[in-house]
Amino acid sequence: MTQDNSGLVLRGFLPYRLHNAAEKVSLAFAAVYKRQEGLSRPEWRVLAILAQLARATATEIGAQANMHKTKVSRAVFALEERRWLARSADDADRRVEWLQLTRTGRSQFAKLSQSARQFENELVAALGDKATRHLLSALTRIEEVRLAEQSHPHSRAR
Amino acid sequence: MTQDNSGLVLRGFLPYRLHNAAEKVSLAFAAVYKRQEGLSRPEWRVLAILAQLARATATEIGAQANMHKTKVSRAVFALEERRWLARSADDADRRVEWLQLTRTGRSQFAKLSQSARQFENELVAALGDKATRHLLSALTRIEEVRLAEQSHPHSRAR
DNA sequence: CCGTAACGGTCAAATTTGTAACTATCAACG
DNA sequence: CGTTGATAGTTACAAATTTGACCGTTACGG
């Protein structure tokens, strides 16, 4: 019944280490698109998601990126000002606005994609092929896992 | 010179996937200590770091946790109010304040450690032993890696 | 149809966070 | 010693984020 070893050792705590690693990588990459185009994180996210989907609503983007809807709203506004994306109305449902990248937006994303790939390549090179494969398969597992009591702050819990 | 495949495929982009996975895990775990003790993220971080070190200055904590010094300052204040930590002066240098957990703080951390370990066990169980080992070794690699042009927003760059 | 509930989106207030200035202390050097 | 520059930490103000209410629609059961 000793209490001695009941203190968690943080250095080995998986969520802690995962968080630190992700933050390190995210910050380094954020520096890339910030320096290159002055994009904020939410703006980059919306841009990237929208580039995948070609056409989406703000709600869809929020769901994919796990971003609060007001954050999406603002990022969309910012990208619209740059003329990187445009809105259009839905014929059937007048509540929804379809978003899609403009020609400019697509070409800017393509340009950033170059840097992104370069960044990723450097990372992969540093990790090594084997570690990278293992990491990717572990990430896939995590994506699939159903964690207890998620209680998401961003998206309404249904 | 076709522009077609120059668009990054986000689903396979390592920094993106790493970030998503870490956020998913972090959020789920944050729900645990928030529900159990009403701790905020920075508070949990300071508590956990301090539990590792037994005694530390605010600056040290900030460096370890990669937290801005004002964030640390506030979290320390909050934990002090709970009587989970106490300050004491340094004899030699009167600028520094040593922080350490009180008896209460230690026992609260021990209690939270239980939940933390349980959470981690569930995660590891879901991932499987092999994937977990691989993940840990990949994380070690990332921790060691030197990423180009870090440009940290939190800590002064030396 | 009509009333109620739900949805997409925006806006404003409240909370959280970062920036920069400030206090107090110390260290180095002439 | 006195001046200059650095360090530890807090605080005031500004920027970003979240929360909650809101408007205009649409869906649907009575």
Q: Is the CB of B106 under 7 A from strand D?
A: no
Substitution target in A1, A11, A27 with the highest count of B β-carbons within 10 Å is A27
Q: Is the CB of B40 under 7 A from strand C?
A: yes
Q: Touching check for B104 and chain A: CB below 8 Å?
A: no
CA-to-C1' span, A73 to D23 (A): 16
Q: Which two tokens stand for residue B120?
A: 């981690």
Q: State which residue of chain B sits closest to A123, comparing Cα positions.
A: B147
Nearest protein residue to nucleotide D25, judged by CA and C1' positions: A95
Nearest nt to A71, CA vs C1'?
Answer: D17
Could you report the per-residue pLDDT of B18-59, keeping only the tens digit for each? 999 999 999 999 999 999 999 999 999 999 999 999 899 999
Average pLDDT on A121-134 reads 94
- Per the CB < 8 Å rule, is A29 touching B15? yes
Could you report the per-residue pLDDT of B52-95, keeping only the tens digit for each? 998 999 999 999 999 999 999 999 999 999 999 999 999 999 99
Could you report the per-residue pLDDT of A104-126, keeping only the tens digit for each? 999 999 999 999 999 999 999 99
pTM, whole model, 2 decimals? 0.88
Residues in chain A with CB shorter than 8 Å from the CB of B21 are: 18, 22, 139, 142-143
CA distance A133 to B138: 9
Q: Predicted confidence band at A127 (pLDDT cuts at 50, 70, 90)? A: very high
CB atoms closer than 10 angstroms to residue B33: 20
Nearest protein residue to nucleotide D27, judged by CA and C1' positions: A93
Nearest nt to A57, CA vs C1'?
Answer: C8
Q: State which residue of chain B sits closest to A145, comparing Cα positions.
A: B126
CA distance B40 to B37: 9
Poorest-pLDDT segment among A28-32, B38-42, B115-119, B151-155: B151-155
Residues in chain A with CB shorter than 8 Å from the CB of B152 are: 27
Chain position carrying tokens 């990208």 = A79
CB-neighbour burial class of residue B85 (10 A; exposed 0-12, middle 13-18, buried 19+): buried
DSSP B155: S
For residues B51 and A7, the answer to whether their CB atoms sit within 8 Å is: yes
Q: pLDDT at position A83, please?
A: 96
- Per the CB < 8 Å rule, is A51 touching B15? no
Residues in chain A with CB shorter than 8 Å from the CB of B107 are: 3
Residues 6+ apart with CB under 8 A from A53: A60, A61, A64
CA-to-C1' span, A136 to D29 (A): 48
